[in-house]
Structure 1
Amino acid sequence: MTDWDVHHLPRAEDRTFLVTGGNAGIGYFVAEQLAGTGATVILGSRNAAKAESAMSSIRSHVPDARLAHLRLDLADLSSIKSSVDALETDRIDAVVCNAGVLLEEPPRRETAEGHELTFATNHLGHFALVHRLMPLLEAAEAGRVVTTGSFVGKSAELDLDDLHSERDYQPKRTYSRSKQAQMLFAFEFDRRLRAAGSTVLSVVDHPGGALDSLTPARPTVQPAPGGRRFPAGLLLQGKEAGAWPAVRAVLDPAVRGGEMFGPRVFGLRGEPRLEPIRGKLADTGLAARLWTASVELTGVDPASNL
Structure 2
Amino acid sequence: MPSVTQVPQWDVHRLPRSEGRCFLVTGGNAGIGYFVAEQLAGTGAMVVLGSRDKAKAGDAIASISSRVPGARMKHLSLDLADLTSLKASVDALGLDRLDAVVHNAGVALDHPPRRETTAGHELMFATNHLGHFALTHHLAPLLTATPGSRIVTTGSFAAKTERLDLNDLQSTHGYQPKRAYARSKLAQMLFAFELDRRLRAAGSTTLSVVVHPGGALDALTPSRPPLHVRTAGERLRHLPLGLLVQGKDAAAWPAVRAVLDPGVRGGQMWSPRLFGLRGTPRSEPLWNHLTDTTTAARLWAASCNLIGDDLTFDEVR
Q: TM over 0.5, yes or no?
A: yes
Q: Percent identity?
A: 68
Find 1:247's aligned residue among 240, 247, 256.
256
Looking at structure 2, the residues matched to 155 and 196 of structure 1 have their Cα atoms a distance apart, in angstroms, of 32
Task: Give the secondary-structure state (helix, strand or coil) at the position aligned to 1:191.
Answer: helix
Q: Is this contact kept in 2: 1:157–1:177, CA < 8 A?
A: yes
8 Å Cα contact 2:202/2:314 also seen in 1: no
Distance 1:261 1:103 in 2: 25
Please say if 1:93 is aligned against 2:102: no
Aligned residue number for residue 30 of structure 1? 36
Alignment CA distance shift 1:2-1:150 (3 Å): farther
Partner of 1:276: 285
How far has the Cα of 1:2 moved from its partner? 5.9
2:188 aligned to which of 182, 189, 203? 182
Alignment partner of 1:237: what SS? coil
Worse-matched range after superposition: 132-141 or 181-190: 132-141
1:63-91 deviations in whole A, cap 9, x for unaligned? 21000000000000000000000012101
Once the two structures are TM-superposed, the CA of residue 142 in structure 1 deviates from its matched residue by 1.0
Q: Distance in 1 between matches of 2:219 and 2:43?
A: 27
1:138 is aligned to 2:144: yes
**Equivalent of residue 120 in structure 2, options 110, 114, 120:** 114
* Contact kept? 1:189, 1:303, Cα under 8 Å: no
* 1:148, distance to aligned residue in structure 2 (A): 0.5
Q: Distance in 1 between matches of 2:269 and 2:24?
A: 19
1:77 to 68, 74, 83: 83
Match of 2:27 in 1: 21
How many residues matched? 306
Q: Distance in 1 between matches of 2:34 and 2:311?
A: 26
1:196-243 alpha-carbon deviations (Å, 9 max, x no partner): 101111000000001111111101112215373143111000100000
> Aligned equivalents of 2:198 and 2:170: distance in 1?
25
Q: Distance in 2 between matches of 1:150 and 1:305?
A: 30
Any conservation in 2 of the 1:190–1:203 contact (CA below 8 Å)?
yes
**Counterpart secondary structure, 1:130:** helix
Distance 2:261 2:180 in 1: 32
Of 258, 281, 300 in structure 1, the residue corresponding to residue 267 of structure 2 is 258
Larger mean CA deviation between 294-303 and 264-273 belongs to: 294-303
What is the aligned partner in structure 2 of residue 234 from structure 1?
243
The gaps in structure 2 that reach 5 residues or longer are 1-6
Give the aligned residue type for 2:307: T
The answer on 1:203 being equivalent to 2:212 is no
Q: Residue 2 of structure 1 contacts residue 254 of structure 1 at CA under 8 Å; is this kept in 2?
A: no
Superposed CA deviations along residues 9-65 of structure 1, whole A, max 9, x for unmatched, are 000001000000000000000000000000000000011000000000001110210
Provide runs of 4+ in structure 1 moved above 6 Å: none
Secondary structure at the aligned position of 2:86 is classed as: helix
1:287 lines up with 2:296 in the alignment: yes
TM-score normalised by structure 2 residue count: 0.94
Letter in 2 for 1:147: T
Between the aligned partners of 1:279 and 1:168, the Cα distance in structure 2 is 26
- Unaligned 5+ segments in structure 1 are none
Q: Determine whether 1:68 maps to 2:77.
A: no
CA RMSD of aligned residues (A): 1.2
Asked whether the equivalents of residues 25 and 47 of structure 2 are also in contact (C-alpha less than 8 Å), the reply is: yes
Indicate the SS of the match to 2:190.
helix
Q: Distance in 1 between matches of 2:311 and 2:22?
A: 20
- SS at 2:238's partner residue? coil
Using the alignment, how far apart are the partners of 2:66 and 2:110 within structure 1?
A: 32
